[in-house]
Amino acid sequence: MTATRSGRYAKSIRPPKPVEGDRLPGVNARHGTTSGFSRHQEMGEEPCESCRAAKAYYDWEWLQAPDKVRRNRLFAKAQARATTELRRAHPEEYAEAYQRHRAALLAEAMAEDAAEDEDA
pLDDT band at 3 (very low <50, low <70, confident <90, very high): very low
Q: Rounded distance, CA 39 to CA 44, Å? A: 9
Q: In angstroms, rounded to a whole number, what is the distance separating the alpha carbons of residues 104 and 110?
A: 10
Question: Quick count: other Cβ atoms within 10 Å of Cβ 36?
Answer: 26
What is the Cα–Cα distance from 44 to 19, expressed in whole angstroms? Answer: 23
pLDDT of 89 over the 60 cut: yes
Q: What mean pLDDT is reported for the chain? A: 80
Domain with 76, as residue range(s), is 67-119
Do residues 59 and 90 share a domain? no
Q: Are residues 92 and 113 in the same domain?
A: yes
Structural domain count of the chain: 2
Dist. CA 105–CA 76, nearest whole Å? 21
Q: How confident is the model at residue 25 (pLDDT cuts 50, 70, 90)?
A: low
Tell me the per-residue pLDDT of 55-72, one tens digit each, with 9 for 90 and over.
888 888 877 777 888 788
